[in-house]
Structure 1
Amino acid sequence: MAQRHVPYQGPSHRPMTTAHLAQTMTLLEMNNHELAEKIQRELDKNPALEMKEDYRCPTCGKRLINQVCPSCSIPPSMDQHSPIVFVSTRRTNSYSGSRSYTDDKDSFEDFSAEVEDLPFFVLNQIRTELEPDEQLIAASILTSLDDYGLCPTPSIELAVFHHVPLSKVEHVRSLIQKCDPLGVASESSQDALIIQAISLQERGDDIPPHTIEALEDGFDELSHKNHRALAKLIGITIKDAKKIIHFISENLNPFPAHAYWGTQWNQTDDKPFRYQDPDVIISYSKRDDEPQLMVEVLWPIYGNLKINPVFRKVISASEKDKSEKLNAEYQKANLLIKCLNQRNHTLVQLMQKLAKEQRDFILKGDKFMKPMTRASIAEDLNVHESTISRAVSSKSVQLPSGKIVPISQFFDRSLHIRTIIKEMIANETKPLSDTKITKKLKEKGFDIARRTVAKYRSMEAIPPTHLRKNKSKT
């Protein structure tokens, strides 16, 4: 009878020592970039360690065939819905973002390069209005944008740096602030909101009286939605103060980069999450016309960590005092190797579960995300919830579509509803208010509050009804 390879079952389930557990948890929390640096540091300082560059599986040690372990890559069952999960030595610069193992698609670098760049997008709107020296100032401002689309560098500092009058910098910043998205490159969220309110007023839109005054003089009160204090400060009724607060929350955006801009207005697909390299790659191959998910838990170095055989001989030949120090290095090296194996095993277990439970999400998109918690996965895998949290922390996965997302997205219980909201808005004939969206969701069986709808809409960087109405007219 032919002998069949049995999938590697990982480290034994004997209780770990405190040192073993502590180091495993530390390594588990690292992403591949951090782990590679950690391994290199250990190689540099511990003579007991060596890197063996061979074609062996970093988990079970068997020889690889086309970078795939013949043992670890065997599915746990013949069910095509069970993913094949294994530790892979694939080089990071070969990530293709292909939809399947055999497809020849564009690389992820090419795919992500198509994503619009906010500074470039804004500069193109005003390039023809700028003099050559003003273009340099604009470029300086736009390359200083933070993640929120703000430029906190004061204009006076920019003027000193470029050796130009303050008025010239303020002129350039003013031109930029009036670009799409409104308020971009403002020094603060307060400035961005004021620019947006003034722009709406100049367009002839109805905004509550004293809105700009409230933004200029009562920003703290607005931030805390303290309508009583705001009313007292600027001398209006509490009812009018509530109207101002409601208008600002519904129509203005304190973070311009989070608003829709450029071609994103009609975009229904997510932009790739901007990770340089994933920690896990999911692809698929076809078996009887059914996709078989292939999940690679990436090993960040090429080769395997080993105990240097010469080092063992040195220990044996050394005097007692010296051999004790050398033996301590040997024990540290041995512990590191064990902990790395345990880390790999935990990640393989986690991805086995996630890929099976979220198969439809992986293959079909956000709308098919199932509600899932770290606690439930921890219970299924018989580990502590903190272990799952560490395994998920700061790591990313490349989906078959080529999109790279944080692994934490597999536990995002709001993603399904947010996707439905995005579809509603993408297909609206006229802008739907948050109240109408709430009613439509209730009809679909989702009983959530209007403020939650507003929160989810904001998370997706979808502007409020008022701004969508303006965009649809242009």
Structure 2
Amino acid sequence: MELFLAPQLETRVTPALLTLTQMLSLPSIELQQLVQQELSENPALEELEMEDDIDLTDEAILRVLEQRLGDLNPAGDMLSGGDGEEEIDPLLFVAAPQSLGEQLLRDLRASLPERDHAIARLVVESLDEHGFLIDEPSDLAGTLHVDETRVTSVITKLREIGPPGIATRTVQECLLAQLDLLIAEGVAVPPDAHMIVRDHLDDLGARRDRRIAQHLNISEAAIEVVRAFVQHHCYPYPAPLLSHSGQRTRYSQPDVAISLQDDSTFKVEVLHSPRRLLRLNPLYREMIHRGSELSEDEREHVQEYLARARTFLATLRQRESTLQVISEAVVTHQEGFLRHGVRHLTALTRAEIAAEVGVHESTVSRATANKVAWLPSGRLLPFSEFFAAARPVQDVLRELIEHEDDPLSDSELARMLSERGYSVARRTVAKYRDQMQILPSKLRTRRVRVE
């Protein structure tokens, strides 16, 4: 479609950089890559030199954490939740390559009741490499012999928490979804944009502006405004910035540092914030004040790039503040875990955090997706673990099995968990055991203790 392949688009504003929703989902490494891309494309944006007035809070915290790491016993406190009384399996937090499907499935299942997990998997498996849904909801429902409304509900949830336009079926649906999202974010979308994309997308791409103008009774200038807006703020595919190969390593650097202060309170810091190292190019700011000395084309060039740079910096600020407030809320709920270890992990949902900080649940999902926290103990922890309500139960379950003499059945394990204050059904025990790759009792050997 010419709308996205025209040569003049080579230097256009990269749309994902300018929307908070898409920027939120990026871990710090990928955000830094986007910053470098924007620096190379926008002369009105520049990187501060080190001798300038730079906020070094990130570096200060990193030095403190590195000092803490140096003081830790690798065999003890490093893997402890805080008080040294229990150890956590380090393999739980080893970096693992994640494909787009794995990432979406993990986040989607965390937002759904267990009975819909099979539907979630089928829906995600029905996405093509660009994030489009290739099967009809009715076909998916027939495959699992469930009501179509349940499938539709899962698809709706995926669209809420995934990249804008995910699980749509066409480029047109994808663009309309992105326009709706931009409107919800408060972006000034041209009034005719939705109607033109809905009814005349092919004409818009082929630059048949006169035909659109006649059909909709609008000016060709208004159509050009819509074309420029779509080119600058929308992608033709739902997931253009996400890896589908599964070859990228997540968790290679923390996004948020959690440190224990002298007064025993926790401090949260968003790390590697590129906003603090960027500014508007003073030359461009000066040029805009000398408008009379510029030609019309030069003035338009300066204004365009300055506006683009301001939008980029504003979105970076909003991303940082959103991640900060969400992280602080999570830490407040999980203080017990941070102080005493995994058995003190509190059941917490993204919906609870969203309600508490006043944002949509999908915002929390995107803000915490692929993010890593650096704990006071020195461990790197995927943010998703703060919402893993089953982790304390699994930890006790593992301990019970490790100390059993004769293999305990799932029913016996459920009873013993209940005695310890964890009310779970036998089938839940079986599910947790499978997740931890522990064999059923019939396949576990009797433990012989030597006196």
TM-score category by the smaller chain?
0.5 to 0.7
Equivalent residues in 2 for 1:130-209, closer than 5 Å: none
1:294-349 per-position Cα deviation (integer Å, ceiling 9, x unaligned): 32210254952100010123343421122112211110100010010111111110
How far apart in 2 are the matches of 1:453 and 1:146?
28
- The answer to whether the Cα contact below 8 Å between 1:98 and 1:107 also exists between their aligned partners in 2 is no
Counterpart among 283, 286, 300 of residue 313 in structure 1: 286
Structure 1 counterpart of 2:262: 286
In the TM superposition, 1:254-269 aligns within 5 A as none
Kindly state the Cα deviation for residue 464 of structure 1 after the two structures are TM-superposed: 2.8
**Structure 2 portions without partners, runs of 5+:** 1-14, 80-87, 99-143, 145-248
Please name the residue that 1:431 is paired with: 407
Q: Mark the CA change 1:356 to 1:396 in structure 2 (over 3 Å): closer, same or farther.
A: same
Larger Rg computed on CA atoms: 1
SS at match of 1:306: strand
User: 1:304 and 1:334 mapped to 2: Cα distance?
Assistant: 14
Stretches of 4+ moved more than 4 A in 1? Answer: 19-22, 89-95, 115-118, 300-303, 470-474
Q: Distance in 1 between matches of 2:403 and 2:294?
A: 77
Give the distance between the partners of 1:279 and 1:473, measured in 2 at CA: 46
Structure 2 counterpart of 1:403: 379
Find the partner of 2:299 among 323, 337, 352: 323
**Partner of residue 71, structure 2:** 104
Q: CA deviation at 1:38?
A: 0.6
- Does 2:385 align with 1:415? no
Q: In 2 relative to 1, CA 357–55 (structure 1 residues): closer, same or farther, beyond 3 Å? A: farther
Cα deviation for residue 395 of structure 1 reads 0.6
Give the one of 29, 42, 46 matched to 1:50: 46
Is the contact between residue 330 and residue 386 of structure 2 (CA under 8 Å) also seen in structure 1?
A: yes
Alpha-carbon distance change, 97 to 397 in structure 1, aligned in 2, over 3 angstroms:
farther
Instruction: Decide which structure has greater helix share.
Output: 2
Look up the SS of the partner of 1:294 in the other structure.
Answer: strand
Task: Evaluate the alpha carbon distance shift between residue 146 and residue 384 of structure 1 in structure 2; reply closer, same or farther with a 3 A threshold.
Answer: closer
| Segment drifting more, 393-402 vs 299-308 | 299-308
Amino acid at match of 1:431: P
Shift of 1:441: 2.1
1:31 to 2:61 alignment = no
Q: Structure 1 residues 274, 328: CA separation in 2 closer, same or farther (over 3 Å shift)? A: closer
Q: Which residue of the partner structure matches residue 235 of structure 1?
A: none
Paired with 1:63 and 1:448, the residues of 2 have a C-alpha distance of 52
Amino acid at match of 1:334: R
- Does the C-alpha gap of structure 1 residues 292 and 277 become closer, same or farther in structure 2, counting only changes over 3 Å? same
* 3-state SS in 2 of match to 1:438: helix
Looking at structure 1, the residues matched to 308 and 34 of structure 2 have their Cα atoms a distance apart, in angstroms, of 14
Residue 116 to residue 383, structure 1, CA distance change in 2 (3 Å): closer
Letter paired with 2:44: A
Are 2:356 and 1:387 aligned? Answer: no
**Aligned residues of 2:273 and 2:320 also touching (Cα < 8 A):** no
Flag the 1:106–1:302 CA change in 2: closer, same or farther, 3 A. farther
1:295 is the counterpart of 2:265: no
> C-alpha distance in 2, partners of 1:117/1:388?
26
Per-residue CA distance 1:349-372 (angstroms, 9 max, x = gap): 011111111001112111101111
Q: CA deviation at 1:442?
A: 2.8
Give the gaps of 5 or more residues in structure 1.
1-18, 57-61, 69-87, 119-144, 148-223, 225-272
Superposition deviation, residue 446 in structure 1: 3.4
Do the aligned partners of 2:46 and 2:281 also contact (CA within 8 Å) in 1? yes
Deviations 1:275-300 (A, max 9, x none): 2211112221333xxx2223221025
1:339 aligns with 2:315: yes
What is the aligned partner in structure 1 of residue 176 from structure 2? none
In structure 2, how many angstroms separate the alpha carbons of the residues matched to 1:313 and 1:107? 55
Q: Partner residue of 2:238?
A: none
Mapped to 1, the partners of 2:89 and 2:345 lie a distance apart of 27
Structure 2 distance, partners of 1:468, 1:97, is: 43
Q: How high is the TM-score relative to the length of structure 2?
A: 0.53
